[in-house]
Amino acid sequence: MAQYVYFLRGINVNGITIKMEALKKAFLDMGFHEVSTVLATGNVVVSAEAVHDQVEKTLSETFGYDAYVVLKTATSVKAILEESKLNRVPEGYHHYVILMKAEGLAHQMKALFDGCQKAPDEQLIIGSECVYWIVPKGDTLNSEFGKICLGKKAYKDKLTSRNINTIEKIVKLLRA
């Protein structure tokens, strides 16, 4: 069976609290197999013969919030981690991955970034399946781009972000 990773947006922040055991049970109840959660930020690794197309609806109904997920194959997540190693990340900076649902959104993010005031060495790099964002530690939500990209409702159903350390933890759970 193929492995997939569901990245949930906006859980365990802003009053939306979901216990990982409850999240795991919800995925098992949807018919997924070998369900694992990674950290409390809404990362779910599953095995499935087919990708379930009702995940957002079911999670919304189960947990009483507007659920948004970005789905990636195990192969994609591994490739994202490998590609991230090409990025130069200065000391004292976070290395984020912005995962997106829609084609062409990476170029829209780049245009937004290019129009923003930036910290020294803040970078946005378009990857093959995502966007990499390198930002000073402590400035994630204070940066102009962070406020636009991560803080605006216009993007909440289209993307989510993860620190590259989270991606590394997820990859360790995936089958070789």
Block means of pLDDT (10 residues each) for the chain, 176 residues, are: 91 76 95 92 88 87 92 96 96 96 90 94 95 94 88 87 96 88
**What pLDDT does residue 102 have?**
81
**What pLDDT does residue 150 have?**
82
Instruction: Tell me how far CA of residue 140 lies from CA of 20, 41, 56, 76, 151, in angstroms.
Output: 25, 16, 26, 25, 10
**What pLDDT does residue 50 have?**
67
Same fold, 2-76 and 80-163: yes
CA 152 to chain centre: 16
- How far the first Cα of the chain sits from its last, in Å, is 13
**What pLDDT does residue 86 have?**
96
**What pLDDT does residue 71 have?**
94
Give the position of tokens 């216990």.
19
**What pLDDT does residue 154 have?**
86
Give the position of tokens 């062409």.
104
Q: Which fold has domain 2-76?
A: Alpha-Beta Plaits (3.30.70)
> What's the predicted TM-score (pTM) here?
0.93
Closest CA to 9 of 114, 115, 157: 157
**What pLDDT does residue 15 have?**
64
Q: Which fold has domain 80-163?
A: Alpha-Beta Plaits (3.30.70)
What are the extents of the domains in the chain? 2-76, 80-163
* Residues whose CB is less than 8 angstroms from the CB of residue 152 and which lie 6 or more positions away in sequence, other chains included: none
